[in-house]
């Protein structure tokens, strides 16, 4: 069965939105952002392009009703409040892409504000499914339920009476079961109400609809909507799916219920061919949706609207960690006052993170980085994530790989990958560097009394296993000649993690810290890395965070003196 699905909207202009592109998941799309970023306008635009009063292909009227009454269409007055002063004809242009189940082909249209009566109203134009140009102003046929914030009208202030909705009475146990699943409750009764808002709630035998919470009522309205689509599918032979729009979906729901809601919606999207678009500010709901979007990239989308860098911009599939930083304005300001996001930097291991820390010492660009030293993956894992176009790694972060991974990336364009300096993994590199310092070198005259003898004692296994003799070593040559049965990488890691050696590494002072000493004495290699890192972070800011290129000139590095 073919189904109608919203694919993309490109908002050329409408209120705070200019040149904004929104892509929708096949099942669930969560739209989030700070106040004033026009989240609800996205829902309104989606609702406005559809109606369910006529099947235009068969030229037949449609008169199906929801369980609690009302059609499967949202009136524009329910999702738009038109301003005489600012919402004038020509102030809205939205290009729509969707798949139309009735014609079984991709379709396009434009939504714009036209003068209709006293006030302008949103009107569909250029409907590509229309057989003639004079019919191109019709909406697409598709059932829509828009659960606006009106559903959260305080229960105590509502005027209502109980009502026996016929379909609800026939399927009351299904309604109760879904409510219990969502709220992790054990209710056994369900009551419908009509009046200010038509609704239904599940409850126990010790209280009724008069004393339910706002969360229970919200859950009831969402489940009524789902069951209304089920009713429609049973009654309508040409059912092509439906669109459920929920403003502030998490309202009144505790964290577990929010996750249960997404799980339930995902299941119903599959069984009822639904598409759900919701807004939310909930960390729990947003993070769960993001996690699902990384596993099921077609089904789930998180869309974050940010005005941190000027006009509202779309950050597709941002995690809650990124959203939280932006919502809490945890961006970093430069001396000139320009703000940038903080970019995550990933490594293969702690040794690499330590090396990076020394390279970034006293670098102005450092404050725009967030080293993720507790998250360590292998080179192949990072490259696979990038190849799969996982946004966090392919667009919005920098991955620092060990220097020996040259062959893995040679000839391939990994814009977010930078190789650390040297020609060895960090633990091997620092061993070789320190071993080749003479016993009389000033480095060994430190306040920690970490002499060359202490160093060789820490590295005794390395020296023994690789038969290192004399006062200098070529680690690559020793690795090639190694005939033992131990894993070389593990031998070097044990050396690096030695408690005595870690005292040296964790010392922040330049005379003691071996990495800072290496950086100061290898300016060419260090500068080459810093230059490439600057290029990578510029690309991330531009492509992953849509920061204006003109602003990036302040993101500079201080090259070491040669």
Domain ranges of the chain: 5-153+238-327, 332-554
Residue 413 has pLDDT above 90, yes or no: no
- Among 133-137, 383-387, 448-452, 489-493, name the most confident range: 489-493
CB of 88 within 8 A of CB of 15? Answer: no
* Cβ burial, residue 132 (10 Å; 0-12/13-18/19+): exposed
The pair phi, psi for residue 98, each rounded to 5°, is -150, 170
* Cβ burial, residue 371 (10 Å; 0-12/13-18/19+): buried
Provide mean pLDDT across the span 530-536: 95
Residue 338: how many other CB atoms lie within 10 Å: 18
Residue environment code for 285-306, b if the CB has 16+ CB neighbours within 10 A, otherwise e: bbbbbbebbbeebebbbbbbbb
Task: Determine the Cα–Cα distance for residues 21 and 268; give it in Å rounded to an integer.
Answer: 27
User: What pTM value is reported for the model?
Assistant: 0.63
- Residue 68 pLDDT class (50, 70, 90 cuts): very high
Helical (H) or strand (E) element with 30: strand 28-33
Angstrom CA distances, 377 to 258, 373, 382, 393, 515, stand at 31, 10, 7, 12, 22
Residue 211 has pLDDT above 70, yes or no: no
Task: Determine the Cα–Cα distance for residues 342 and 396; give it in Å rounded to an integer.
Answer: 10
Task: Determine the Cα–Cα distance for residues 322 and 391; give it in Å rounded to an integer.
Answer: 12
The contacts found for 483-490 with CB under 8 angstroms, 24 or more apart, are: 489/425
Q: Is 324 left (phi over 0), alpha (psi -120 to 50) or beta?
A: alpha
Q: Is 74 left (phi over 0), alpha (psi -120 to 50) or beta?
A: beta
CB of 315 within 8 A of CB of 547? Answer: no
Angstrom CA distances, 36 to 151, 153, 186, 312, 430, stand at 21, 21, 39, 9, 52
294 or 10: which leads in pLDDT: 10
Residue 186 has pLDDT above 70, yes or no: yes
The pLDDT assigned to 318 comes to: 77
The pLDDT assigned to 423 comes to: 92
Residue 549: how many other CB atoms lie within 10 Å: 9
Q: In sequence order, which ranges of 53-150 are alpha helices (DSSP H)?
A: 76-79
* Cβ burial, residue 415 (10 Å; 0-12/13-18/19+): middle
Task: Tell me the percentage of the chain whose pLDDT exceeds 70.
Answer: 94
Q: Would you give the distance in Å from CA 446 to the centre of its chain?
A: 47
| 60-61 and 417-419 strand pairing | unpaired
The pLDDT assigned to 330 comes to: 54
Residue 164: how many other CB atoms lie within 10 Å: 9
Torsion (CA) 109, 112, 116, 118 in degrees, nearest 10? 160
Considering only CA atoms, which of 302, 387, 285 is closest in space to residue 28?
302
Pick the CATH number of 5-153+238-327 from 1.10.4000.10, 3.30.70.20, 3.40.228.10, 3.40.50.300: 3.40.50.300
Q: Would you give the distance in Å from CA 468 to the centre of its chain?
A: 50
Predicted confidence (pLDDT) per residue in 233-258, tens digit: 999 999 999 999 999 999 889 899 99
Predicted confidence (pLDDT) per residue in 276-334, tens digit: 999 998 888 998 998 898 889 899 999 998 876 667 888 877 777 777 767 665 555 56
Weakest mean pLDDT among 126-135, 140-149, 270-279: 126-135
Predicted confidence (pLDDT) per residue in 463-520, tens digit: 999 999 999 999 999 999 999 999 999 999 999 999 999 988 887 555 678 999 999 9
CB of 183 within 8 A of CB of 215? Answer: yes
404 or 79: which leads in pLDDT: 404
The secondary structure of residue 467, as a DSSP letter, is T
Helical (H) or strand (E) element with 242: strand 242-246
């Amino acid at each position: 069965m073919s189904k109608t699905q919203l694919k993309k909207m490109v908002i050329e202009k409408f209120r705070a939105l200019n040149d904004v592109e929104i892509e929708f998941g096949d099942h669930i799309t969560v739209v989030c952002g700070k106040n004033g970023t026009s989240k609800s306008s996205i829902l309104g635009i989606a609702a406005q392009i559809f109606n369910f009063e006529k099947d235009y292909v068969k030229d037949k009227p449609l008169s199906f009703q929801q369980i609690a009454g009302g059609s499967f269409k949202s009136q524009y007055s329910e999702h738009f409040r038109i301003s005489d002063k600012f919402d004038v004809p020509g102030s809205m242009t939205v290009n729509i892409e969707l798949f139309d189940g009735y014609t079984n082909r991709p379709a396009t249209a434009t939504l714009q504000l036209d003068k209709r009566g006293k006030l302008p109203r949103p009107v569909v134009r250029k409907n590509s499914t229309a057989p003639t140009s004079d019919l191109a102003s019709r909406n697409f046929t598709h059932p829509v339920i828009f659960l606006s914030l009106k559903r959260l009208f305080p229960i105590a202030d509502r005027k209502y009476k109980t009502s026996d909705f016929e379909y609800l009475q026939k399927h009351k146990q299904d309604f109760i079961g879904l409510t219990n699943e969502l709220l992790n409750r054990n209710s056994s009764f369900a009551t419908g109400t009509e009046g200010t808002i038509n609704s239904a709630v599940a409850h126990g035998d010790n209280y009724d609809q008069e004393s339910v919470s706002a969360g229970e009522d919200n859950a009831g309205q969402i489940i009524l909507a789902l069951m209304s689509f089920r009713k429609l599918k049973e009654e309508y032979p040409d059912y092509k799916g439906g669109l459920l729009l929920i403003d502030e979906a998490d309202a009144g729901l505790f964290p577990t219920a929010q996750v249960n809601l997404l799980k339930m919606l995902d299941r119903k999207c599959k069984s009822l061919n639904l598409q759900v678009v919701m807004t939310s500010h909930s960390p729990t709901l947003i993070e769960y949706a993001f996690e699902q979007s990384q596993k099921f990239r077609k089904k789930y989308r998180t869309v974050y609207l940010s005005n941190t860098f000027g006009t509202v911009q779309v950050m597709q599939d941002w995690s809650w960690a990124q959203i939280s930083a932006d919502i809490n304005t945890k961006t970093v300001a430069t001396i000139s006052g320009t703000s940038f996001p903080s970019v995550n930097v990933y490594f293969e291991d702690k040794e690499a993170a330590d090396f990076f820390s020394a390279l970034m010492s006293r670098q102005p660009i450092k404050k725009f980085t967030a080293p993720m030293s507790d998250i360590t993956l292998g080179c192949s894992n990072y490259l696979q994530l990038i190849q799969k176009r996982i946004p966090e790694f392919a667009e919005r972060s920098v991955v620092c790989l060990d220097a020996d991974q040259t062959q893995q990336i040679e000839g391939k364009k990994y814009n977010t990958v930078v190789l650390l300096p040297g020609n060895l993994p960090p633990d091997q590199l620092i061993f070789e560097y320190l071993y080749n310092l003479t016993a009389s070198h000033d480095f060994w005259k430190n306040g920690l009394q970490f002499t060359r003898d202490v160093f060789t004692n820490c590295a005794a296994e390395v020296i023994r296993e690789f038969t290192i003799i004399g006062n200098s070593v070529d680690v690559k040559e020793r690795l090639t000649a190694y005939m033992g049965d131990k894993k070389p990488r593990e031998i070097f890691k044990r050396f690096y993690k030695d408690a005595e050696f870690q005292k040296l590494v964790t010392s922040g002072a330049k005379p003691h810290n071996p990495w800072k000493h290496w950086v100061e004495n290898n300016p060419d290699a260090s500068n080459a890395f810093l230059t490439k890192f600057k290029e990578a972070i510029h690309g991330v800011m531009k492509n992953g965070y849509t920061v204006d290129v003109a602003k990036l000139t302040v993101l500079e590095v201080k090259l070491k003196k040669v």
